[in-house]
Amino acid sequence: MTNNTERKSLLVYGMDGGVWLGLYLIARFFCGIAGTYISLLNVVAMLLFIGTPFALYLIMLQYHKQNGYLSGFSLLWMMGIMLFFFASLISCVPEYIFYQYINPDYIANAAAESVKLIEQMGVVENSATLDEMRKLLEGEALPTSMQMVMSSMWSNVFFGSLLSIIVAPFVLRSKSKNNIKS
């Protein structure tokens, strides 16, 4: 009996898996934001951050099991990049809504708290960086909501690419172990 099930392409699976990873990134973002008010959610956000490689591993392993004929490192790496790209497109929408409409003062407040914390530490009292940060706050030259979202998107894709390089060999190794057992 032949298996006539249609296999998804790398791009389609990147989009499908990107939805799940995007929801994961949204949960991580909101737990991080709410963690400034509720300490327990800050711990959850940290656990979600630490769990990102495991979530990526599970998504890549599922794809690799369904499409075992694509067993190359470079294809898995490319899929990881696509996963994070599509996940970032999804996760950036609620981030923009939060920065623009829910809490428009969040960026300014976070920058002011950062400067206050650096001043309290007393490590870099007469630092040029601290002076520049004060000037940015006074001149209100802070990043806009869209700049924050774009920064988040491209950092997700960049670090997701690096993470995919690390995770892809484990996915390949897991598949080869399963082939040896059967």
pLDDT per position as a tens digit, 31-80: 999 998 899 999 999 999 999 999 999 999 988 888 765 568 899 999 99
Number of independent structural domains in the chain: 1
Question: In terms of Cα–Cα distance, which of 22, 20, 46, 42 is closest to 33?
Answer: 42
The C-alpha atoms of residue 79 and residue 168 are separated, in whole angstroms, by 9
User: Which pLDDT band holds residue 141 (cuts at 50, 70, 90)?
Assistant: confident
> Residue 127 domain-assigned?
no
Q: Which domain holds residue 22?
A: 10-103+142-177
Cβ–Cβ under 8 Å, residues 33 and 91:
no
> Residue 110 domain-assigned?
no
pLDDT per position as a tens digit, 170-180: 998 885 565 55
**How many other CB atoms are found less than 10 A from the CB of residue 85?**
19
The C-alpha atoms of residue 115 and residue 121 are separated, in whole angstroms, by 10
